[in-house]
Structure 1
Amino acid sequence: MRRWVISLGSAVLLLLLVGTACKTVGAGELGVMFRPFSGGVDLQRTYPEGFHWVAPWNSLIVYDVRLQEKEEAMDVLARNGLSIHMDVSIRFAPIPSELPLLHREIGPDYMNKIVLPQIRASARKVIGKYLPEELYSTKRDQIQEEIYHETDSILRTKHIHLDAVLIRSVKLPASIAEAIERKLRQEQEAMEYEFRIEKEKKEAERKRIEALGIKQFQDIVSAGLNPYLLRWKGIEATQALAASQNTKIVIIGNPKDGLPVILGTE
């Protein structure tokens, strides 16, 4: 009986050891080994997806290395001191090849320790150089790009890859937003007015060139006309009309050098 109890206890202990020694790394994850009795964090190796046997006194810390997204709301000051509320999305991931260093220097909570504080600091630094209307409309993409580069330059030294920074929304006090929209409408109307003026100038120039061409054509034609040519052309037309088989009415009494007028009755 005693042997049976000992055997059962040994089997249970063995199962417990096996259970604690078997660690699973899931899809899109990597593991970092910590060995308290042999050098601490293993900087030479990461553990891929699957089952891994780990000594009970060691620890396998699992990290999600897929792209992650975090939405962050923040209040920043523009160049003129106006407070602006922004909603920002950040996409990031740990650099897989540097995961052991990330674990040793920062730890699993790197998002709250590094990513979010740095994005806030970069946003405040960049937006402090611009006016509210520039962030609200004209230079939003440029500001977004500057925040990305400012943040990425720091996160890369912390073993974190920054994929994108996206400004989702910008909220200003209602009176300021209305003033900016009014200013933008006025600028748009001024640009439209300038466009109309320029269009009318081009149309006036076109008409001037057209009139000049017509005048030059008339001058050329007039230079080639004389009374003898006109009389001859009149004679030819009269002869052609007289040769027609239709009934005509002849009106005589034109000036001395004129031609009779022949009218057809049909």
Structure 2
Amino acid sequence: MAAQLLNSLGRLGLGLAVGASVVNSALYNVDGGARAVIFDRFTGIKSNVVGEGTHFLIPWVQRAIIYDIRSRPRNVSVITGSKDLQNVNITLRILFRPIPSELPKLYTSLGEDYDERVLPSITNEILKAVVAQFDAGELITQREVVSLQVSEELTARAAQFGLVLDDISLTHLTFGREFTAAVEMKQVAQQEAERARFLVEKAEQTKKASVISAEGDSQAAELLAKAFGDCGEGLVELRRLEAAEDIAALLSKSRNVAYLPPGQQTLLSLPQM
């Protein structure tokens, strides 16, 4: 009797374990920021998209494919040519995410690694097409225009695959060694030209200053000659007195001269004109 009871309990426990395993395999979770599509062995990918939470499926018959629908970053580097045939190395940083309603189509056409299949190819295509419209110099001076055009065209291209690009930015832009060396030589030449222009302007200003100074001396000489002609002996006498006053002031400050000796020949005793 006890053996039968133990046998029944064993079968019950086995049944419960199998049932728990079946129930556990029939449940799956969709975390926050994720969506799921269901693959059915008999009907294929179902068109409905499963949201967040715990859901049921038919074990062995159905399988849940989980997609992250939050924005993720990706860097894509491209080497292409500009309008003037200069090699340009561009790195583009993209924030992308899938459109939830397009997930069944996305899985059918591209699979789970859709970003590896789509983003490098369309980024290469758009960057080469846009960069070829600008010269190397314009890529530097009109960087915002280039970035805006790349963003518009790449966003439209990605939408065809069920992707949303939240942000697109040019993070790296360099040129070949030949172009870089040519730019450096041009900058040096411009600096030398500016220095030469400064020296020429300085020489011109010095020349003008010399001319103005000579003209001033000439005018002063003319005015002095005119004054001599107009005033005659009076102006000479005034100058003689001024010179004598200066000499007397200097001699009075000298330690070796206490007074002016009588009969000392100075400008004060110059013969009258």
Counterpart AA for 2:75: E
CA distance in 2, matches of 1:82, 1:134: 12
Pairing of 1:168-179 with structure 2 (within 5 A): 168-179=171-182
Does 1:15 find its partner at 2:14?
no
Aligned residues: 187
Q: Is the 8 A contact 1:133 1:180 kept in 2?
A: no
Distance 1:19 1:181, change over 3 A: farther
Q: Find the aligned partners of 1:117 and 1:166 in 2 and give their Cα distance.
A: 17
Instruction: State the match for 2:84 in structure 1.
Output: 80
- Where does 1:127-142 land on structure 2 (aligned, <5 Å)? 127-135=131-139, 137-142=140-145
CA offsets 1:170-223 (integer angstroms, 9 cap, x no match):
122344224336657949x99xx9xxxxxxxxxxxxxxxxxxxxxxxxxxxxxx
Aligned twin of 2:45: 41
Q: Distance in 2 between matches of 1:6 and 1:180?
A: 86
Residue correspondence of structure 1 range 224-243 to structure 2 within 5 A: none
Structure 2 residue 147 is matched with structure 1 residue 144: yes
- Counterparts of residues 1-266 of structure 1 (less than 5 Å): 1-37=6-42, 39-43=43-47, 45-56=48-59, 57-135=61-139, 137-180=140-183, 183=186, 186=190
- How does the TM-score come out when normalised to structure 2? 0.62
AA aligned opposite 2:15: S
Could you tell me how far 1:124 is from its partner in structure 2? 1.2
Structure 1 138/124 Cα, relative in aligned 2: closer, same or farther at 3 Å? same
1:51 positional shift: 0.9
Q: Percent identity among equivalent residues?
A: 22
In the aligned structure 1, how far is the partner of 2:71 from the partner of 2:96? 6
- Structure 1 runs (4+) deviating above 6 angstroms are none
Distance 2:41 2:182 in 1: 63
Q: Structure 1 residue 92: deviation in Å?
A: 1.2
The answer to whether the 8 Å contact 2:86/2:176 transfers is: no
Greater Cα radius of gyration, structure 1 or 2: 2
Q: CA deviation at 1:119?
A: 0.8
Structure 1, unaligned runs of 5 or more:
194-266
Evaluate the alpha carbon distance shift between residue 175 and residue 81 of structure 1 in structure 2; reply closer, same or farther with a 3 A threshold.
closer
Cα deviation, residue 111, structure 1: 0.3
1:209-264 per-position Cα deviation (integer Å, ceiling 9, x unaligned) = xxxxxxxxxxxxxxxxxxxxxxxxxxxxxxxxxxxxxxxxxxxxxxxxxxxxxxxx
Q: Mean alpha-carbon deviation: is it higher for 176-185 or for 154-163?
A: 176-185
Deviations 1:124-178 (A, max 9, x none): 111122222222x112111112222222222212111122221101122344224
Secondary structure in structure 1 of the residue aligned to 2:84? coil
Q: Extract unaligned runs of 5+ from structure 2.
A: 1-5, 198-273
CA distance in 1: counterparts of 2:14 and 2:185, whole angstroms: 82
Mapped partners of 1:100, 1:183: distance in 2? 56
